[in-house]
């Protein structure tokens, strides 16, 4: 894989029951705000053509989420956001450019509802020496391995307190542009990463990442609204 692509094209996806937006999901997980080398942030394997060469600021974000409940059933998720892009119209937006989930129902509906480029992977989550060890793999090949430890008290958090412009998510998929502003609320604890590793062909290289902030998200609820969908305009 030398340029951005989906591992499973839309034409090869299995049938899955429709689970239209909006979605309300519940679960727990981990959030990492990272400083990455520019070569990693602009790696064409994890940056789709629609966002190539767009100015990019803010931290990169990696999230591992374990959804206990969603309209598509329980599933696990590992995602990457390179940062906050400056769009052609001058506005700013985040965009998920690489993401793996554990079920085909999530893959199909994530692409259909919001243009999120989901691929399917196998996940494991284990406890060892007070840390969580998280693994994602595709056909037995490692995607990423994370080892994280939470500490300190649980504090309330609510993403909906941020203006919608700060939560703007823009996705480009199958000739369409999807825009939405997700919301979330729950609790967070501070955390630290004791291991970050990945296969750079399947997920952005994490070996040289500097962790700016790590959080354990506990008992949270996430709202994914109906996206505004428009034809993708030429760059």
For 79-94, the pLDDT digits (tens) are 999 999 999 999 999 9
Q: Which CATH number belongs to the domain containing residue 168 in this structure?
A: 2.40.400.10
Kindly report whether the peptide bond that precedes residue 22 is cis, defined as omega within 30 degrees of 0.
yes
- Domain membership of residue 88 (yes or no) is yes
For the record, the structure tokens of 82 come out as 């390179």
Q: What pLDDT is recorded for position 65?
A: 97
- Domain membership of residue 170 (yes or no) is yes
- Domain membership of residue 1 (yes or no) is no
Q: Which H/E stretch holds residue 85?
A: strand 84-86
* Domain encompassing residue 36: 24-231
Low-confidence ranges of the chain (pLDDT < 70): 1, 160-161, 234-235
Question: Domain total for the chain?
Answer: 1
- Domain membership of residue 225 (yes or no) is yes
- Domain membership of residue 2 (yes or no) is no
- Domain membership of residue 17 (yes or no) is no
Give the angle 110-200-130 at the CA atoms, nearest 5°. 80
- Domain membership of residue 46 (yes or no) is yes
Q: What is the pTM of this model?
A: 0.96
Q: What does the alpha-carbon distance between residue 109 and residue 231 come to, in Å, rounded to a whole number?
A: 19
- Domain membership of residue 18 (yes or no) is no
Give φ, ψ of 50 to 5 degrees.
-65, -20
Distances (CA, A) of 126 to 38, 122, 149, 201: 32, 14, 12, 25
């Amino acid at each position: 894989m030398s340029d951005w692509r989906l591992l499973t094209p839309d034409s090869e996806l299995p049938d899955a029951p429709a689970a239209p937006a909006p979605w309300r999901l519940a679960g727990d997980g981990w959030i990492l705000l990272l400083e990455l080398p520019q070569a990693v942030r602009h790696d064409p394997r994890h940056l789709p053509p629609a966002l190539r060469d767009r100015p990019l600021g803010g931290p990169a974000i990696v999230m591992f989420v374990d959804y206990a409940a969603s309209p598509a059933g329980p599933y696990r998720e590992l995602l990457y956001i390179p940062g906050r892009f400056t769009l052609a119209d001058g506005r700013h937006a985040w965009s998920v450019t690489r993401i793996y989930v554990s079920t085909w129902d999530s893959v199909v509906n994530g692409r259909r509802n919001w243009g999120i480029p989901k691929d399917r992977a196998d996940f494991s989550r284990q406890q060892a020496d007070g840390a969580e060890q998280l693994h994602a793999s595709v056909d037995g090949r490692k995607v990423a391995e994370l080892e994280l430890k939470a500490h300190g008290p649980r504090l309330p958090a609510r993403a909906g307190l941020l203006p919608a412009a700060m939560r703007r998510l823009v996705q480009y998929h199958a000739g369409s542009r999807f825009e939405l502003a997700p919301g979330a609320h729950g609790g967070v604890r501070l955390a630290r990463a004791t291991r970050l590793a990945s296969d750079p062909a399947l997920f952005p290289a994490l070996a040289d990442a500097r962790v700016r902030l790590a959080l354990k998200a506990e008992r949270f609820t996430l709202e994914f609204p109906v996206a505004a969908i428009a034809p993708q305009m030429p760059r």
